[in-house]
Amino acid sequence: PGVDSILQVRKSFGGKSRESSWDYRTRIAERLRHKQRALTASDYESLILEAFPQIHKVKCFANLRLTDDPAEALSPGHILIIAIPWLTPGGHSNQKPVLSGHLIHEVAQFIRQLAPPFASISVENPLYEEIQVRCHIKLKPGLRGGWYNARITEALCEFISPWHPLGYSRHFGWIIRQHDLIAFLLDLDYVDSVSNFSLLRIAPTSMYEQDLQDEKQGPLPVSEGIGHDQKTPKNRKSTLPPNEQR
């Protein structure tokens, strides 16, 4: 009583949409499965996603820890959790969103209360490996570069970006296939042919160093069972934004 109006100066944050009947059934099914305890990798992921709506995807790596020596990465009792926030609305498809230090601390505190006491848990931001596509493209007769060059770059970024619904949707364990990218380019209405196609993968190895792997300098080292026309992550905690350079 006595309040005439309310003015909200800043935008709301930290809110959550009303739970739909489908989300309700999913949440109940997950609760019956994990019983509010973090035992399996999927338990960690489900509990974190339910408690923190500002997180888009979570990947839990059991028996894995961060170390400079890959040979020492496998370590029983360690849990490595990689969380990715939602993409900023209206931003570029090659964004590299990360969680704030405060949110990482909150996630770690929350999940440690539900995990076994002997588990050593580490919550981290992902590493971002970039893929640069280099090729010669011949446009359909009567078309010129300029706008079409920019549109081809934009279309490739959307196709490679794991956030775009029409492109690769996997943030972790991704595989980039050459023939998929060539087929995508040839499907564009304004592209006549594609030649001299190659991929450059840019993978961070430390805070100040990056590993460059270029097809033109010879076949790239790839995982067992993966062909040389495919690219896989160099690091388990890596996800993939495209590189917009032409």
Distance separating alpha carbons of residues 161 and 156, to the nearest angstrom = 8
State residue 160's pLDDT score: 82
Q: Does pTM top 0.75 for this prediction?
A: no
State residue 81's pLDDT score: 93
State residue 19's pLDDT score: 82
Distance separating alpha carbons of residues 193 and 161, to the nearest angstrom = 23
State residue 121's pLDDT score: 93
Taking the chain (246 residues) in consecutive chunks of 10 residues, what is each chunk's mean pLDDT? 82 75 89 90 92 89 82 86 81 74 94 93 87 88 87 86 70 78 91 89 61 51 41 54 52
The residues, any chain, with a CB within 8 Å of residue 43's CB and separated by 6 or more, are 33, 34, 37
Note the maximum CA span of the chain: 76
**In the chain, what is the straight-line distance between the N-terminal and C-terminal CA atoms, in Å?**
62
State residue 221's pLDDT score: 40
Q: Which residue has the tokens 């969380």?
A: 83
State residue 158's pLDDT score: 82
Provide long-range contacts, Cβ within 8 A and 24+ apart, for 151-157. Answer: 151/190, 152/185, 152/188, 152/191, 153/244, 153/246, 154/93, 155/184, 155/188, 156/181, 156/184, 156/185, 156/242, 157/92, 157/93, 157/94, 157/242, 157/244
